[in-house]
Structure 1
Amino acid sequence: MIRCEHLTKRFGRTTAVDDLTFDVHPGRVTGFLGPNGAGKSTTIRAVLGLDTPDAGRALVGGVAYRDLQQPLRHIGALLDAGAVHRGHTARAHLSALAAAAHIRRDRIDQVLALVGLTDVATRRTGTLSLGMKQRLGIATALLGDPPLLILDEPVNGLDPEGIRWIRTLMRTLAAEGRTVLVSSHLMSEMALTADHLLVIGRGRLLADVAMADFVPPGTSLEDAYLDLTATAVDYRTQPSQGTRP
């Protein structure tokens, strides 16, 4: 389980995450929604130990990320699919991570096959399409066969077949009992994928609710989301360039 307890993070005079408390449970896909600048990325970075909270804490399986032994075996994340060495092949990228995490080499072939990259495994990542890079990012997240996954905009750059594939993958992983947190602005995909929703605005929790209870009969997820967040968008309060919302 992922747990945030009174999580607070400030950048200068801007409070990006404000006393945020929630749990992400296993066995379901949890959608993480909010307007631009709501604090989603900062929250995810705090969970992954990339940002240090000013108050509160973020836990992965009951401990802070920095205290995990072999973290790739505990939690996998897709944040920026383009953050790979352009000169390395897809296989070399995964091989380096596997070696550092003491993961068996046959797992590399397994995840390449799972994401449909076996035929391009020896191509340099700089030559891959955006969709292929996205698949490589998902392969990286799955490399340690972790029980927890965080995916930020996982369908970015994917064609319709790829979007259906990642949707099915996320639901399959949740059905296996894993914890899946997915951040996305695509309401149509969240409506088809998520079982539960966390919605934040201006760094505060607005909703922690089952999908079925969030969307009233006769309306859409997009309508319900926009109604809830209508007063949570104020771009004048955004952090200045160089900070992370």
Structure 2
Amino acid sequence: MRSRHRPGDDQLVIEVRGLSKRYGPTTAADSLTFTAKPGVITGFLGPNGAGKSTTMRLVLGLDRPDAGHALVGGRPYWSYRRPMRELGALLEAGSVHPGRTAFHHLLWLAHTHGIGPSRVLAVLDQVGLSDVARRRVGAYSLGMRQRLGVAAALLGDPGTVMLDEPMNGLDPEGMVWIRRLLRTLADDGRTVLVSSHLMSEMEKIADHLIVIGRGRLVADTTPAQLRAGHDSLEDAFLELTRATAEYHGRAR
């Protein structure tokens, strides 16, 4: 990757202001406001059904908000002529035709943005899929599909990266890899917004945390501040979000 980004560059900021979205009786985003900044790994946390994926879809313009706005570099994502060069996203690792090879999947995406084959080869190498790039995606494990999704997010060499649960299905080696990758992206001055249910990983990699529950902002803080007075970040998270969790139960 080219080191072309500077921490503090406002053109890379993800800005969510007063964002609201309802689907029938369900409120997915409720006057949600937060900012993800360059040079920082921002962890995006919340229980199941909290509205994390919906918020990311609203940032990408895949859904239209009922109120408020979500901007990337001060503009709606859909307004960019070549948006993948501005923000790269992973929302659903399984959304690739199983009969297509990883190389041809990325090559097709590259053509839509005027990106050459050399960049396809570079990101395949970056995510560790070079040796299986000509294999059909239907034969990939979940972890390999996750790596392919990350490759697609990095294809345009964007200044902003948004990843929804990128650690799902990764083995221990893959977890080390994704940690290092996210840190490299942030240290290069990029904005990194990443959701995860793995509190132990968020505790290791996140510089800042946005926590939501039932579509509302619950916390906008650092891992150390959130964990204060608790044995772990997971304990702090569970206490903070208990009232907003979709399911409640007691271990037996």
The match for 1:177 is: 189
TM, length-normalised to structure 1:
0.94
Matched, 1:21 2:15: no
Taking structure 2 as the reference length, what is the TM-score of the superposition?
0.91
Alignment partner, residue 73 of structure 1? 85
2:218 pairs, out of 175, 193, 206, with 206
Q: Per the alignment, in what secondary structure is the counterpart of residue 177 of structure 2?
A: helix
Q: Which runs of 5 or more structure 2 residues have no equivalent in the other structure?
A: 1-12
| 1:175-220 deviation line (CA, Å, top 9, x unaligned) | 1000000100010110111010000011100111122221115621
Distance 1:140 1:234, change over 3 A: closer
2:242 matches 1:215: no
SS at 1:230 equivalent: helix
Name the residue aligned to 1:53: 65
SS in 2 for 1:7: strand
Deviation at 1:227, TM superposition (A): 1.1
Shift of 1:68: 1.2
Counterpart of 1:126 (choices 135, 138, 145) is 138
User: Residue 157 of structure 2: which of 111, 121, 145 is its match?
Assistant: 145
Q: Hey, which bits of structure 1, 4+ residues long, moved more than 6 A?
A: none
Residue by residue over 1:226-245, the C-alpha shift from the partner in whole angstroms, topping out at 9 and shown as x without a partner, is 11111112459xxxxxxxxx
In the alignment, the residues of structure 2 paired with residue 177 and residue 2 of structure 1 have an alpha-carbon distance, to the nearest angstrom, of 14
For residue 35 of structure 1, what is the amino acid of its counterpart? P
| Contact 2:47–2:244, Cα closer than 8 Å, also in 1 | yes
Within 2, Cα distance between the matches of 1:117 and 1:141?
A: 14
Q: Secondary structure at the match of 1:50?
A: coil
Alignment partners' CA distance in 1, 2:128 and 2:141: 13
Structure 1: which 5+ runs fail to align? 237-245
Residue of structure 2 equivalent to 1:157: 169
Matched residue count: 236
Q: Which residue of 1 aligns with 2:8?
A: none
Change (3 A) 1:173 1:206: same
